[in-house]
Amino acid sequence: MLGLSDWSWLPGVLSAGVTAALASAGVQAWRDRGKGRSSAAYLALRIAIALEAFAHDCSELIAENVLLKDIGGAAERPRYRTRLPPIAGFPDDGEGWRALNLHLAAECLGIRNAVSVTQSSIRWAVEYDGDIEDRVADAAIEHGLAAWATAGRLRAVYKLPPASYGLESVRHLQEEQKRRAEEVERRTARRAERETAR
C-alpha cells in the first residue's frame, strides 16, 4: 500500500492531467476552427450574392439609359439615371469577417468604397459633362464586372456552388465593354484621319 509520504504516483497523475487538458484544448480549437470556416463560408455566400445582385443592377442601369436615349432621340436631352446602384448591406457577422480570408475581405469592402468614390465624381460631372451617359455606363461596367469577379473568387475559395443566375447580366456588361472599346477605337481612328488630312 502506498503511503502519503510516497510521492512516486504524482508525476503520472500530473502528466495524465496535462495530457487530458492539452487534448481537450486541441479538440476545442479544432471545433472552433471548423466553426470559423463554416461562418466564413456562409458570410462569403451572402457577400457573393450581394455582389452578383449589384452586377445585375449595373447591367440594368446601362440598359435603362440606352432605352432613355432611344426614346428621347435627338430632339431633347434625356434625363439619364446617374446614380450607380447600391450594393446591398454586407452582413454584420464579426466572427465570419474575422474568419474570412483577409485579402478577400479587403477586396469586398474596397468595392463599396470604389463605388462611392466613382459616384462622387459622377455627381460633379453631371454639372459639366455633356457625355454623362458614357461616364455612368463605363463606371457601371467597371464596378459591375469587378463585383462579379470578386463574387466568383469568394465562391471558389470557399468551395461554394457557382452562381445560378445573373450570367446574362455579366454577358451584357462584357458586350458593352467590348462595344465601347471598339467605339473608342473608331473615334480615335477618325480623329487621326482628320489630323492627317489637315
Question: pLDDT tens for residues 140-185?
Answer: 999 999 999 999 999 999 999 999 888 899 999 999 999 999 988 9
Cα distance between residue 119 and residue 123, in whole Å: 6
According to the model, what pLDDT value does residue 5 have? 59
In this prediction, residue 144 carries a pLDDT of 98
**Interior CA angle at 142 toward 102 and 140, to 5°?**
115
Please give the pLDDT value at position 32: 46
Closest CA relative to residue 107, chosen from 70, 157, 39: 157
Q: How far is CA 45 from CA 5, 36, 37, 39, 51, in A?
A: 63, 14, 12, 10, 10
d(CA 134, CA 15): 73
Residue 176 neighbours by CB under 8 Å, 6+ apart:
62, 137, 141
Split at pLDDT 50, 70, 90, the class of 85 is very high
For position 9, what pLDDT does the model report? 56
For the stretch 31-83, pLDDT in tens is 545 445 688 999 999 999 999 999 999 999 999 988 887 776 555 666 788 99
Q: Looking at residue 11, what is its pLDDT?
A: 64
